Amino acid sequence: MARDRVPVLKRCRYLGIDPVVLGVTKKKSKRNRVMRKLSEYGVQLKEKQKVKFIYGVLEKQFRNYYEKADKMQGITGENLLMMLELRLDNVVYRLGLGRTRKEARQVVRHNLVTVNGNKVNIPSYQVKVGDVIEVKESKKDLERFKQTLEITNSRLVPEWLSADKDNLKGNILTLPKREQLDLPVNETLIVELYSK
């Protein structure tokens, strides 16, 4: 399985992302580097790299998401972000069961989460409206989740989700809309890049 082992803060600095977007509490370094002006293609590519890095998706899988989003009804860029938001690892992160998306991915891979009572250990699993995501009963008293909830307690849960942090579960209320996503991304540039 391929993994992205790039240092998080270094990558955030290059892409111009605040590390808080990823759930990392470390501060951005104060070094200001003068970057050369990017071409139109460079700006579009950087925007795509930003989204891939935020969600932890590699190129082939991202391309598949784009092709599915292009076939769906509606605006392609918004469909792409909606599909990425509905990944199981991202939903676990949004519910506050993981400090970062990488930790949420690990929680899913280690069989600690169920969807509608069935165990699912695939981070890219697409959840649907009405699905109930819950930590397994036998794992609810783990110290890991107590520590994580203390840290993520102040994090706001998006309106398209409902979270029950006492019982370590949540469910999908509606499909996420673009205005509900707090991402510093311009998805139209990604569509322009792939439509060339």
104 contact partners, CB below 8 Å, separation of at least 6: 89, 90, 92, 93, 97, 98, 123
Give the pLDDT confidence score for residue 32 in this predicted structure: 61
Give the pLDDT confidence score for residue 17 in this predicted structure: 82
Q: Where in the chain is the domain with CATH 3.10.290.10?
A: 87-172
Give the pLDDT confidence score for residue 91 in this predicted structure: 94
Tokens of 134: 């819950």
Q: Where in the chain is the domain with CATH 1.10.1050.10?
A: 8-29+37-84+184-194
Half-sphere exposure of 186 (CA within 13 A, CB side): 11
Residue 105 near residue 164 (C-beta atoms within 8 A)? no
Tokens of 141: 């008293």
Residue 34 has pLDDT above 70, yes or no: no
Residue 109 near residue 123 (C-beta atoms within 8 A)? yes
Quickly state the pLDDT bin for 29 (edges 50, 70, 90).
low
Of the ranges 11-15, 19-23, 87-91, 131-135, which one carries the lowest mean pLDDT score? 19-23
- Order of all β-strands in the sheet with 132-135: 118-119, 113-115, 132-135, 169-172, 161-164
Per-residue DSSP letter, 72:
S
Fold of 8-29+37-84+184-194: Ribosomal Protein S4 Delta 41; Chain A, domain 1 (1.10.1050)
CATH of region 87-172:
3.10.290.10
Tokens of 56: 């932890």
Give the pLDDT confidence score for residue 28 in this predicted structure: 57
Q: How large is the average pLDDT for residues 111-135?
A: 93
172-188 pLDDT, tens digit each? 999 999 898 888 899 99
For 14, 109, 113, the CA distances from 94, given in Å and listed in that order, are 25, 17, 14
Q: Rounded to whole angstroms, how far apart are CA atoms 54 and 127?
A: 19
